[in-house]
Homo-oligomer: A and B are copies of this chain.
Amino acid sequence: MSTKLNRRLRLGMVGGGPGAFIGAVHRAAARLDDRFELVAAALSSDAEKSRAYASELRIPRVYSSFQEMADAEAKHPEPIDVVAIVTPNHMHHPIAKAFLAAGIHVMCDKPLTTNLTDADDLAAAVASTGLIFGVTQSYSGYPMVRQMREIVTTGGIGAVRMIQAEYAQGWLATKLEDTGAKQAAWRTDPAKSGPAGCLGDIATHAFHTACFITGLKPKEVAADLSTFVEGRRLDDNVQAMLHFEGGAKASLWSSQIAIGEENNLNIRVYGEKGSLTWHQENPNYVQHAPLGEPTRILTRGGAGVTASPAAGTRLPTGHPEGYFEAFATLYSDIAEQIVARLEGREADASSRLLPTVADGVAGVRFIEAVLKSSANASAWTPLS
């Protein structure tokens, strides 16, 4: 990515107060490639906390609420270029609406919203404002995931037949939400997470990553949700079978009660002429098995790895990059899109791999279809 803009972009943040996990990730990711300066924030619904933490983080402009922030930034002589929304799910919709209305680009965490009506509403707002809207389906930022996408979409493994998409964790195998653990509490609370637990939190990542890599359009799903931990209010295990346009199929499993699993997003794609395998926990490698030939190990930045995924590579092969770097690539993507617009030029092609509001809507539609199928004896339920 190249730019003539002689300043860093101005970033704002809503959410991400003390103890939040994903807010700190967004901040570090935005910092890594040095394209942003965090200049404004409403970090917490508690204005006092927000102020204190912003001072600790050395953020100059602090606001008491997202609405106040949107209003003020809209009028500021040097307004933020983009706002990062990193609150619990139920707040994504009103906050995003407010900033779009203020004419400010948005980087929103996932799932986009807690229901499809809100998601469609946001998509409409993005369309009508023409603003840039990114969704941090973070795994699409991994260079080797982008490499898989490039191989699949250029026919490198032939027509896709079968996908195995897994995202398993074990940290909610016991009733952690009763112990005061903040991360567990809001994720298992329907008021904050919406009607989906594991489904909204991580199954959506498995779903998006599978779609991102293959470019396939999902058709229908047959799903079985479970709540294995007694008394939990949302699902903690998701099983699904999927059909795609064109005949491809997928099995999807996502769980937060899988003891021994940490953050095991694991995608395998089998086509007519080869297959690809990727494991998030050791993300710098892809196994590529061409039909009738030995399996090859592709490495980030290594031999046989083609141009566009390399855009997200900062280090020589063998020097591992991880989750921060993948996330940072999404921030560099939106930076490039914003700068290109400021400079009146086309954004680099690879920057357009940033997940969009449409991806966010598809994720919410997936959630609703899975909920419906599971409630209906796993009947096949449309995804489009």
Residues of A with Cβ closer than 8 Å to B?
6-8, 21, 24-25, 27-28, 31-34, 57-58, 157, 161-162, 164, 166, 169-171, 173-174, 222, 224, 226, 228, 237, 239, 241, 247, 249, 251, 253, 255, 257-264, 268, 270-275, 277, 280-284, 287-299, 302-304, 314-325, 377-380
Contact = CB atoms under 8 A, between A and B. Distances in A.
Contacts of A316: 21, 171, 262-263
12 contacts: A161-B228, A162-B237, A222-B378, A239-B241, A239-B249, A259-B273, A260-B270, A281-B320, A294-B304, A295-B297, A315-B324, A322-B322
A325 B257 CA distance: 29
B295 A260 contact: yes
A378 B241 contact: yes
Contacts of A260: 270, 274-275, 277, 287, 289, 295
B320 A315 contact: no
A297 B174 CA distance: 21
B293 A295 contact: no
Contact of A257 (B161, B241, B289): B161
B318 A320 contact: no
Contacts of A271: 259
A53 to B, nearest CB: 13
A331 B239 CA distance: 38
B294 A302 contact: yes
Contact of A249 (B174, B226, B292): B226
Contacts of A249: 224, 226, 237, 239
Given A293-B304, A319-B322, A378-B378, 10 more contacts: A7-B58, A162-B255, A224-B249, A259-B273, A260-B287, A262-B302, A294-B296, A319-B323, A321-B322, A377-B380
A264 B166 CA distance: 17
Contacts of A166: 164
Most chain B CB within a 10 A radius of its CB, from A261, A287, A319 = A319
Contacts of A323: 315, 319-321
B173 A291 contact: yes
Contacts of A25: 315
A272 B34 CA distance: 41
A240 to B, nearest CB: 8
A45 to B, nearest CB: 23
A208 B212 CA distance: 35
Contacts of A317: 262-263
Nearest to A323: B319
